Structure 1
Amino acid sequence: MKIVVIGAGSVGMLLASFLAERFQVTVLVRRKEQEEAIRKHGIHRINLDGTITRLPVNVSTKYEDIRSDSFVIVAVKYTHLKEVLPRLEKLPEDIPLLFVQNGLAHFDEVLKLPQKTIGFGSCQFGAQKENDHTVNHRGIGVLKLAVERGKTGDFQWFSKVESASFPVQFVDDAEKMLFEKALYNCFINPLTAVLQIKNGELLTNRHAYILLKALYEECMEAFPERRETVSFEDVVSLCKKTASNSSSMLQDRLLNRKTEVESIVGAVIKKAEKNGKSLPILKTLYHLVLALEGEKT
């Protein structure tokens, strides 16, 4: 099995590091500097116990290096996905594709691609990029997989890499999976980005906790059918498990990068409005994040 991971941010590098323990992995990157770093060092994964695992991987900047017998994982953020989709259109139709972006906005766009087998992933683990070749595994969490189109069998090899540190779960409904992950992101990401606090402080800061609880109740009023599968206890548990983590949206803010607020929060707001519901707290956080980004009117 030849695996290509497009994108070497925190998620791409962590996935590549675990997959490289069993398979031949090629990482496709945009920058020459990162290509040189990974070619020289491989990928270094800082494990939960502080040890470092060094994994040799291939690296390239050329889509032409993707072979017809590859399995392709697209791990770029949604903000870069539009640059990647035209390249994917030119790949052979028989190459299976897996997309692991946050949010909902990419779902319909991806399904316009010609490939016969397309799946989606929801990453529940914690990961933080330290440098161009090092990723910090910040928390154990399941990688959920759902095949939306094509052969489920093309994804079964993931069971060979599953471990206590890298759990994998197959689910039936990709869109439902992505929406539920987007809800968790909506509870944690914009609040931590605006308040500039780590996930655990949403529980220990009294005012942040009040906002978190109010935000949860607002979203459950808009999507009452999700209350059974997304409980507030689950949200609290996630904050505890990732207490020392900085959310991806906070990391983007601190590094002055464009966040995924549109594809995550904006998509959930649109879904609620389509159903005749309003989300005033979430909408306020959405505009605050955009204001912090300095978006021009």
Structure 2
Amino acid sequence: MERVGFVNVWIIGGGSVGLLLASYASKAGANVTVVTNGKEQAEALNREGVSLLRNSIASFHPVDAIPFECLSSLKTATIIFLAVKEHQVKRVLTKISKLKINSPIFFLQNGMNHITLMQELRNSVYVGIVEHGALKHSNVKVEHTGIGIMRIGHVLGDELELKPFWDKLSSVGYSVDVEGEWLEVMKRKLIVNAVINPLTALYELKNGELLHDETIVSIMKKLCQEAIMTLQLKDHEDIWTYIIQVCQNTKENKSSMLRDIESGNQTEIDAISGYILREGLKRKISLPYTLDVYHQIKQKERSDIDG
């Protein structure tokens, strides 16, 4: 296999997003190491690699893996992708700081709470907005459920020359697009998440099923309007069309928020709707629909914990 300039990709997080990226990065010829939450998954990945399912066809891609608790060095990393949930970012950055790692860091989180943490780093910083659909079936098996784009923006520090790697990733089926206005891209993604994720979790629907109910579509439009007004998106004329397109392109997907509710895990509602509410409070904007879904999700979280 042709190696892409000996790119050493470290992916912290062995969830659906991390495994999907790991499989394609390996397929693109990079040396891939996945940092997992536990020892069992690391052992399985070292033994079996990542099994990628796309259009009912399985392929297998070798990776190295190490549990987070055993992480002692990232010095070989060309790139470090943080594919963990928003509320886990601070813990990971604390570890990276202690290891005195200078490698560029790519943030792949939903929401925008981590912007402050990003801007405190001395590393080169990028954001990756993942619009690919992914479903994790096991510790080593991930399905590519929606073909989208990973939009990349450079935030801080020296910019890497990684165009050959992005081109190779795109050529093997994981499309990448380098964006200039990274903050605007993050805002657009946040609006999509703020509209789709809470409603799929509340109504227990796949993304595409939201569009089948007129009442839900009406709420979606209200959430979209509130988010646009609060975030002051520069170019928002096509954002509603974009939301519909995302629902259609990922129609069989369960959102990460719905999967978290089903699994009894903490959701990213504070990083998504919570962020919009805090920005609205600063600007003294009333956001009744966003506030309502926020409280309903928080109630669901508490119910799952109590139950």
* Bin for the TM-score computed over the shorter chain: over 0.9
Q: Distance in 2 between matches of 1:42 and 1:14?
A: 12
Structure 2 match to 1:122: 129
- State the SS of the aligned residue for 2:266: coil
Structure 1 match to 2:3: none
| Identical-pair percentage | 29
Structure 2 match to 1:257: 265
The 3 A distance-change label for structure 1 pair 26 and 183 is same
Instruction: Tell me, yes or no, if the aligned pair for 1:222 and 1:278 is still in contact at 8 Å.
Output: no
Code of the residue aligned with 1:24 in structure 2: it is N
* Number of residue pairs aligned between Structure 1 and Structure 2: 294
- State the SS of the aligned residue for 2:134: strand
What TM-score, normalized to structure 1? 0.93
Q: Distance in 2 between matches of 1:5 and 1:187?
A: 28
The 3 A distance-change label for structure 1 pair 66 and 173 is same
Unaligned runs of 5+ in 2: 1-6
Shift of 1:88: 1.2
Q: Distance in 2 between matches of 1:92 and 1:224?
A: 37
Structure 2 match to 1:88: 96
What TM-score, normalized to structure 2? 0.90
Shift of 1:223: 4.7
Deviation by residue 1:228-281 (Cα, 9 ceiling, x = unmatched): 354212111111111111111001001111000001110112122222212110
Q: Distance in 2 between matches of 1:77 and 1:104?
A: 12
Shift of 1:215: 2.1
Instruction: Tell me, yes or no, if the aligned pair for 2:19 and 2:142 is still in contact at 8 Å.
Output: yes
Structure 2 match to 1:268: 276
Shift of 1:227: 5.7
Q: Distance in 2 between matches of 1:246 and 1:78?
A: 18
- Counterpart mapping for 1:86-165 below 5 A: 86-115=94-123, 117-156=124-163, 157-163=165-171, 165=173
Of 53, 66, 81, which residue of structure 2 is paired with 1:46? 53
Shift of 1:210: 2.1
Higher mean Cα deviation, 117-126 or 162-171? 162-171
The 3 A distance-change label for structure 1 pair 221 and 66 is closer
Q: Distance in 2 between matches of 1:186 and 1:213?
A: 11
Does 1:3 pair with 2:9? yes
Deviation by residue 1:110-129 (Cα, 9 ceiling, x = unmatched): 221232x1111100110111
- State the SS of the aligned residue for 2:189: helix
Instruction: Tell me, yes or no, if the aligned pair for 1:29 and 1:35 is still in contact at 8 Å.
Output: yes
Q: Distance in 1 between matches of 2:128 and 2:33?
A: 19
Instruction: Tell me, yes or no, if the aligned pair for 1:6 and 1:73 is still in contact at 8 Å.
Output: yes
Code of the residue aligned with 1:26 in structure 2: it is T
Does 1:60 pair with 2:83? no
The 3 A distance-change label for structure 1 pair 132 and 101 is same
Code of the residue aligned with 2:125 in structure 1: it is I
Code of the residue aligned with 2:22 in structure 1: it is A
Deviation by residue 1:42-76 (Cα, 9 ceiling, x = unmatched): 101111x1101110100112322423453211111
- Counterpart mapping for 1:240-255 below 5 A: 240-255=248-263
Deviation by residue 1:145-168 (Cα, 9 ceiling, x = unmatched): 111112223443322221373111
Q: Distance in 2 between matches of 1:210 and 1:259?
A: 24
Q: Distance in 2 between matches of 1:227 and 1:280?
A: 24
Instruction: Tell me, yes or no, if the aligned pair for 1:5 and 1:28 is still in contact at 8 Å.
Output: yes
Q: Distance in 2 between matches of 1:201 and 1:288?
A: 20
Instruction: Tell me, yes or no, if the aligned pair for 2:24 and 2:172 is still in contact at 8 Å.
Output: no
Unaligned runs of 5+ in 1: none
Q: Distance in 1 between matches of 2:100 and 2:151?
A: 26
RMSD over aligned CA atoms reads: 1.8
Instruction: Tell me, yes or no, if the aligned pair for 1:45 and 1:136 is still in contact at 8 Å.
Output: yes
The 3 A distance-change label for structure 1 pair 18 and 271 is same
Shift of 1:213: 2.2
Q: Distance in 1 between matches of 2:284 and 2:161?
A: 39
- State the SS of the aligned residue for 2:272: helix
Structure 1 match to 2:4: none
Code of the residue aligned with 1:288 in structure 2: it is Q
